Chains A and B, each alone.
Chain A
Amino acid sequence: MTTAPTAGGAPTSFLEVRDLRIHFPTDDGLVKSVDGLSFRLEKGRTLGIVGESGSGKSVTSLGIMGLHTVGQYGRRKARISGEIWLDGKELMSADPDEVRRLRGREMAMIFQDPLSAMHPYFTVGAQIVEAYRVHHDVDKKTARTRAVELLDRVGIPQPDRRVDDYPHQFSGGMRQRAMIAMALVNNPELLIADEPTTALDVTVQAQILDLIRDLQKEFGSAVIVITHDLGVVAELADDILVMYGGRCVERGPAEQVFHAPQHPYTWGLLGSMPRIDREQTERLIPVKGSPPSLINVPDGCAFNPRCPYADLPKGGITRTERPELRPVPDAGDGRPHLTACHLPQQDRTRIWNEEIAPKL
């Protein structure tokens, strides 16, 4: 299992994304939001996609849902290429109406801010009922019973009463629970959670993370969690994909990515965040500079202007040639651990063990 072949048949994985590219033409130039992304995901497992603003992580999820173009009314259309295989079906070449029928039924999404993600003029119940009735030919009463049942399942007290409340009458945590209920109403097999807890308080965040974990066990769905918060992915994810400048820079089992990270950007993320589980460090180790503009992604490795080790590989290769994702040798339990970095493996291991790990 190395990098996915670009032209293969139907994969065996539940979800497989192959060389996904989503580019948006704008007046300022071509925004390469996602630029060659591949990964796979099995049912019952959770993939965490980590990245900063403008890394392309949210566009990736919208691309899988087929939501990256709708809403681009009349503007120049997004250019999308690659393959998205969901349960043996290729979505990119499928009829848009067929993809629509999968949306909400086979793949559902939870968004960051549940207040703005729910329609303020319709009751919570009405919105869940609507989501159910698009895909199930049932009367309103049955759908309402289903909505109450799910609100109960996600932990809304007095669900038969609260079902008729409007979103603004719910607290932030309850809204996110309702949003989860809405996403799960059709028992989707793929659940995408885009920053599901970013707008919530810590204690509520802990409740929601627990809920997502429990529900995944119960429903056995595949879950993609998209976040900038390494703490959140560490709580949920089996595998982690680190995105930078529209590309994957590191992908592997969570254990590996946190304990033997390979890419200098991953090191940077780990060094940037103060950690409550470690001894107090005197200083954080920030990454210099800011994330790149997706219009002008630096040549070579996109991270090279911010990378303290960019000059280590010979011949300035980091500034001219884009590194491919390559497997890391002897990485743990056999699940692949890949990184896109020009640094030779022994340098990477040495720098991590000697320079980075001790300072975290």
Chain B
Amino acid sequence: MSIPKQPAPAAAEPLLKVEGLVKHFPITKGLLRRQAGAVQAVDGLDFEVRAGETLGVVGESGCGKSTMGRLITRLLEPTAGTIAFDGRDISHLGVAGMRPMRRDIQMIFQDPYSSLNPRHTVGTIVGAPFRLQGITPEGGVKKEVQRLLELVGLNPEHYNRYPHEFSGGQRQRIGIARALALKPRLVVADEPVSALDVSIQAQVVNLLDDLQDELGLTYVIIAHDLSVIRHVSDRIAVMYLGKIVELTDRSSLYAAPLHPYTKALLSAVPVPDPRRRARRERILLTGDVPSPISPPPGCRFHTRCWKATEVCKQQEPPLTALLPGHRVACHHPEEAPTEAVREGAPA
């Protein structure tokens, strides 16, 4: 490949900086329960999230995207690597050490049914962060909770209702209100809309959008749906078997993906247009994602890649910037993008 390597454009100090992040879940076996292997859920991630942007993380099941979300919110302890939030290393902070950080980093979960305690009222759920942190907001907890409910588009008078009295979309709003209670700077959302009906998904996507504008939030949004990811993200990381294979801004990724996996993924998305059925070219990947317990050597995608050669089986391609701000981990990236696309890519 003759694409010159260029230094990435200098950016402002990132809000979140992740280097060499690894999470292995050990598997034990045999009489003495020796460690026989590990689920290499996340295996060496490097990325940063800039203040005010939305980083979308997309990939198929087993690619480690949810584990990554739990690592950067420190619900899990990393096996190796560092996570720096606002310049401070939080990789191995204990529960006590994380408590003040919890104000700045919040998480929204996928399932609006199981992530809310059915025995607590909405007021209790949304107000819980205040109690846990020992904070009394201006005007009292109740007033603040009602303000939050209104912010996410719920009726503040429903303060005393229970989660089961709300629909799925409304419950997801409750989860969002809870996450926003302490005015976090970073919100990590793991599949925030995938459990919702289509017509409700759009409401929640728009809400997340509005809240970002209004509160200056930084998002990491994890999802398997490439259309949703494209809609919400500024930059996108594509993950495959515990690794980032491509990381770039949204328009470059969708207009000119460089990694074969990204290309295949995009071509597989069913498009709601019967006219395109006949004339679209689709790259059909064969087989399934290999097991993260024994990922293939070299490039992890080589077992399903139509471009794989000998080098792919032996050497792991590093994630390098082939174009400014466009990092790819591939020995045989797609052709250099055409002029038209380059114009489309923001500087």
Contacts and interface: CB of A to CB of B under 8 A. Distances in A.
Direct A–B contact present (CB less than 8 angstroms): yes
B198 interface: yes
A231 B209 CA distance: 24
A233 B269 CA distance: 12
Q: Which secondary structure characterizes the binding site on chain B? A: helix
B265 A203 contact: yes
A272 B269 contact: no
Nearest to A170: B288
A174 B277 CA distance: 24
B277 A284 contact: no
Contact of B272 (A172, A205, A270, A286): A270
B230 interface: yes
Contacts of A287: 199, 202-203
Contacts of A209: 270
Interface in B230-258: 230-231, 250-251, 254
A228 B60 CA distance: 20
A283 B275 CA distance: 24
A284 B282 contact: no
Interface in A286-338: 286-288, 290-291, 306
A234 interface: yes
Interface string B315-345: 0000000000000000000000000000000
Interface in B147-181: 167-170
Nearest to A204: B288
Interface stretch (A77-85, A274-282, A344-352): A274-282
Contacts of B209: 283
A234 B288 contact: no
A280 B231 contact: yes
A234 B268 contact: no
A202 B60 contact: yes
Contact of A206 (B61, B230, B270, B275): B270
Interface string A255-284: 100110000000011111111110011011
- Which one of B169, B267, B273 has the highest number of Cβ atoms from chain A below 10 Å of its Cβ? B273
Interface string A224-235: 000011111111
Given A202-B265, A231-B271, A173 B288 contact: yes
A206 B284 contact: yes
A42 to B, nearest CB: 18
Contact of B60 (A201, A232, A272): A201
Instruction: Give the interface residue-count category, chain A.
Output: 35 or more
Instruction: Give the interface residue-count category, chain B.
Output: 35 or more
Contact of B202 (A210, A285, A290, A291): A285
Contacts of B226: 202, 276
A170 B272 CA distance: 30
B305 to A, nearest CB: 12
Contacts of B269: 202, 231, 276
A353 interface: no
B274 interface: yes
A171 interface: yes
A174 B273 CA distance: 27
Contacts of A277: 271-273, 276
A291 B264 CA distance: 35
Contacts of B169: 290
B117 interface: no
Contacts of B285: 203, 206-207
Contacts of A291: 167, 197, 199
Contacts of B6: none
B288 A172 contact: yes
A284 B205 contact: yes
A152 to B, nearest CB: 15
B133 interface: no
Contact of B277 (A52, A202, A235, A286): A235
Contacts of A171: 288-289
B309 interface: no
B166 to A, nearest CB: 9
Interface string A162-199: 00000000011110000000000000000000000000
B234 to A, nearest CB: 11
B121 interface: no
Given A270-B272, A286-B199, A276 B60 contact: no
Contacts of A223: none
B268 A205 contact: yes
B28 interface: no
B61 A284 contact: no
Contacts of B60: 201-204
Contacts of B272: 230-231, 233-234, 258, 270, 273, 275, 277
B206 A283 contact: yes
A254 interface: yes
B115 interface: no
B290 to A, nearest CB: 10
Contacts of B15: none
A145 interface: no
B224 interface: yes
A237 B282 CA distance: 18
Contacts of A203: 60, 264-265, 268, 285
B288 A286 contact: no
A272 B202 CA distance: 5
A284 B224 contact: no
Interface of A: 52-53, 171-174, 201-207, 209-210, 228-235, 237, 254-255, 258-259, 268-277, 280-281, 283-288, 290-291, 306
Given A230-B272, A234-B271, A290-B168, 10 more contacts: A201-B60, A201-B224, A209-B270, A231-B270, A231-B271, A259-B275, A274-B230, A276-B266, A277-B271, A291-B197
28 contacts: A52-B197, A52-B199, A172-B61, A174-B288, A202-B226, A202-B268, A203-B285, A206-B270, A206-B284, A229-B198, A231-B271, A234-B274, A237-B274, A258-B273, A272-B199, A273-B198, A274-B227, A275-B227, A276-B269, A277-B271, A277-B276, A280-B250, A280-B251, A283-B209, A284-B206, A285-B202, A286-B199, A291-B197
Closest 3 CB pairs of A and B: A231-B270, A286-B202, A274-B231
